[in-house]
A and B are shown apart, each in its own frame.
Chain A
Amino acid sequence: MAKELWKGNEAIAEAAIKAGCKFFFGYPITPQNEIPEYMAMRMPQIEGAAFVQAESEVAAINMVYGGAGSGARVMTSSSSPGISLKQEGITYIAGAELPCVIVNIVRGGPGLGGIQPAQSDYFQATKGGGHGDYRLLVLAPSSVQEAVDLTQEAFDMADQYRNPVMIMGDGMIGQMMEPVEFTDVPKRNLPEKTWATTGTKGKREHNVINSLFIDPAACEKHNIHLFEKYAEMEKNEVRVEEYNMDGAEIVFVAYGTTARIVKNAIATLGKEGIKAGLIRPITLWPYPSKTVEAAAAKANVKAFLTVEMSMGQMVEDVRLAVNGAKPVHFYGRTGGMVPTPAAIVAEAKKVLGGAK
């Protein structure tokens, strides 16, 4: 297929359909509205598929619980305040081990915040959000093409681990137009959904979708089982891009569209004779800690500079991975403000001046 121009949000929606998403439940909020809008147009064209605009985000995520329980591929999408509303449902889905895909097109916060792009939901996505010990697989595309590829793969990941997968893009990922080519993602060997509530037809025991454990020993056992699964994800699913890392004096860590702004800054620094590299986590959980740790051990690396559209969230994971081996600095803009390449260049020079 030739390349076409797609808006991030509608491309994510079409990618979900290509991946076999049969049910979409959502509620409007800027800057992700084109996802439900596109689904409302496309789902009725697909046999056995449905789009429902729920009465609220809380209703939508619980419809996802039901749809996923029946074994179908299901998606919901929202933006930051709406994702907060979905948290109860998300932890239930994680607890009940149901596969689904949740898209968060992040805007400025806290509270209602604003509609411009942000990355300040990192903690919420990677450190819980809802209650209890659970993890989401969190994928952070930095282009519309990557958003398309990761969305298609997200459904396979969800089915493989029976776990919710979150696509986290800042507002720009949702709103910008970029050339896209839809291609098939590598096939995974996925298990049969023998757990799905599809009707016993009198031939098997009832399948029960549940996250309630009255016996604490059983609840602990369930948690240990979940963490064995999360360990598998950590082993198999870490994804990261390393860019310009050979001989880098300063290593940027940035994800999503911020990483693209950092690449622009790296080019400017290069022209001025400063070698800068980038570690771009593609999975925010599981986090590419080993890549960061390995960079910290290199003699040429003097310092790390994490750049985010937040007041500093992912930087905590960078510090944990660097573990004191090198100084870790932070530069961020927030509330919908976007860092400029010039400001990043200035910050890098300040860091290197201080590191000498």
Chain B
Amino acid sequence: MLDEKRVRIITGHYGSGKTEFAVNYTFALAATGKKTAIVDLDIVNPYFRSREIEPAFTEKSIRVIASSIKGPGADIPALSSEINTAFHDKSYEVVIDLGGDKVGARALGRYHEYLSEEPYEMMFVINANRHETQTPEDVIKYINGIEESSRQKITSLVNNTHLCGETQLEDILRGQKLCEEVSQILGLPIKYVVVHKSLVDKVPPGIQGAIFPIDIYMTKPWE
């Protein structure tokens, strides 16, 4: 668990729940006592971005690097020069929350020179309940698109199949089957199976990938 390369990039189809995973991953990483930074590289979505919960990160001494334009209301795709810190200052363990789809992944292309020098982990988050990533062919199409526009290679898969508050064990297992098929075709390992803490006990043993229990941080105002 959490023993990936220093720079972890989290990507996926929008709605895959990559931000929720990235946020939980960051908190878990910081809880091990490591100096941690989260880079919100989402220049696509205007709402529900990891920067929205900046105070919760700061409270745990996690550095938040987002747009140079402060505030949640900026839909200006401005990449802060502070992002370079994540690559230069190797005392940080880094989680990069990339925007959805190949359009969002393009922002990473800018950092190609750093990523070609230092090995990284790039995790592709899969939610089989999203209409555009329900078959292995669809998922691979997304992976190819994201690899092309980000100029980086996906190194592992994360099963995050969910239905917000209505997630059942069957959802997770159906997503797992999809991930296994993709894993076989592309030769990429399934690193994590993301499971809400309330469902962890129900997951059968022997599942590929480590169970990653999560809490929900990216809540809606009525939740």
Contact = CB atoms under 8 A, between A and B. Distances in A.
A178 interface: yes
B48 A176 contact: yes
A7 B220 contact: no
Given A5-B15, A7-B14, A175 B45 contact: yes
Q: Is the interface of B mostly helix, strand, loop or mixed?
A: loop
A14 to B, nearest CB: 8
User: For A5, A117, A176, A338, which residue has the most chain B Cβ atoms within 10 angstroms?
Assistant: A5
B131 interface: yes
A160 interface: no
A4 B130 contact: yes
Interface stretch (B22-30, B89-97, B142-150, B158-166): B158-166
Nearest to B101: A37
A264 B163 contact: no
B129 A172 contact: no
Given A3-B129, A3-B163, A175-B46, A257 B72 contact: no
Contact of B73 (A260, A264, A336): A336
B47 A179 contact: no
B127 interface: yes
Contacts of A263: 222
Contacts of B14: 7
Contact of B47 (A116, A264, A341): A116
Given A5-B164, A115-B75, A257-B222, A172 B15 contact: no
B221 interface: yes
Interface residues of B, number: 22
Q: Is the interface of A mostly helix, strand, loop or mixed?
A: mixed
B208 to A, nearest CB: 23
A274 interface: no
B129 A171 contact: no
Given A5-B162, A257-B221, A172 B130 contact: no
A30 B73 CA distance: 10
Nearest to A116: B73
Contacts of B222: 257, 260-261, 263-264, 341
Contacts of A115: 46, 73-75
B163 to A, nearest CB: 5
Given A7-B14, A30-B75, A338-B221, A176 B127 contact: no
Interface residues of A, number: 30
User: For B14, B75, B127, which residue has the most chain A Cβ atoms within 10 angstroms?
Assistant: B75
Interface in A252-284: 257, 260-261, 263-264
A175 B48 contact: yes
Contacts of A31: 46-47, 75
Contacts of A30: 46, 75
Contacts of A178: 164
A14 B131 CA distance: 11
Interface in B74-108: 74-75
Contact of B166 (A3, A114, A257, A336): A3
Nearest to B163: A179
Interface string A1-25: 0011111000000100000000000
B162 A175 contact: no
A7 B101 CA distance: 14
Contact of B221 (A3, A114, A175, A261): A261
A257 B47 CA distance: 15
A253 to B, nearest CB: 17
18 contacts: A4-B130, A5-B130, A5-B162, A7-B14, A30-B46, A31-B47, A114-B73, A115-B74, A116-B73, A117-B47, A171-B47, A176-B47, A257-B221, A257-B222, A261-B221, A264-B222, A264-B223, A341-B221
Given A5-B162, A260-B222, 14 more contacts: A3-B129, A4-B130, A4-B131, A6-B131, A31-B46, A115-B75, A116-B46, A117-B47, A175-B48, A179-B163, A260-B221, A261-B221, A264-B222, A340-B221
